[in-house]
Amino acid sequence: MVRARSDSPLLFEIVEKPDFSVETKAMAAGQWPVAGMDEAGRGPLAGPVTAAAVVLDPENIPEGLDDSKRLTFEQREALFDRILASALGVSMASISAEGIDASNILRASLEAMRRALCGLPLRPKLALADGRDVPPGLPCEGRALVRGDQRSQSIAAASIVAKVMRDRMMADCGRRHVHYGFELHMGYATARHRTAIEIHGPVARLHRTSFAPFRLGVVEVVED
């Protein structure tokens, strides 16, 4: 017996797109404003971890919001401008490489999100955080959403703002430290970046010396 082929898409072909449903439910429950929080830069060997908090205007949500990793450079830049022009509140914060080394990347990421939230021009009643952890010390209720940047438009907006700001910071580092190519790899452990570290050494206050390969061997830190 031959089975008829379904016209429904296969599960692995479904691409989840963020929407405003979590925020809408919170609004109906009296929890408004709702802020989305996300960070960029947990994995690189260099540079800060940067976070953003965004309160979108329910009546003016930019089209095309998505997980920043699923967007092109041009799409992120365009949406960054639209978010800043339309959102009710946007705030950014970062923790330096030294701050990351002094604690750990998870704590630094959560602290950056907390600072971003506290910097908003309005006080949210609910904060949605991408991932499994709620930053400690929030001034409101917090809720963690796994793959939140693919589920919540507020978190997606925060992921775009955090990514664009961090990329711009790393591009500036690339102009100051021309041997490393930061503007190309944003501090991630590419072959070019690792080779530059082997030749020129890590840059003080820019490279995360608590990360491998630095903590696996003795390296001479270059003062800028």
Plot region of 180 (φ>0 → left; ψ -120 to 50 → alpha; else → beta): alpha
pLDDT for the residue 15: 63
Q: Is the dihedral of CA 90, 95, 96, 97 positive or negative?
A: negative
- The answer to whether the beta carbons of residues 160 and 80 sit under 8 Å apart is yes
| Total residues found in the chain within this entry | 224
Q: Which of 170, 153, 169 is nearest to 38 (CA)?
A: 153
pLDDT for the residue 160: 98
Residue 12 in tokens: 């692995």
pLDDT for the residue 213: 78
Q: Cβ of 67: how many Cβ atoms within 10 Å?
A: 21
Q: Cβ of 42: how many Cβ atoms within 10 Å?
A: 12
Domains along the chain with CATH numbers: 15-168 (3.30.420.10), 175-216 (no CATH)
**3-state DSSP assignment of residue 205:** coil
* Full pLDDT tens readout for the chain, 224 residues: 444 444 444 545 566 899 999 999 999 999 999 999 999 999 999 999 999 999 999 999 999 999 999 999 999 999 999 999 999 999 999 999 999 999 999 999 999 999 999 999 999 999 999 999 999 999 999 999 999 999 999 999 999 999 999 999 999 999 999 999 999 999 999 999 999 999 999 999 999 999 987 875 544 445 45
Residue with tokens 């580092």, as numbered in its chain: 173
pTM for this prediction: 0.90
Please state, in angstroms and rounded to a whole number, the distance separating the CA atoms of residues 223 and 213: 18
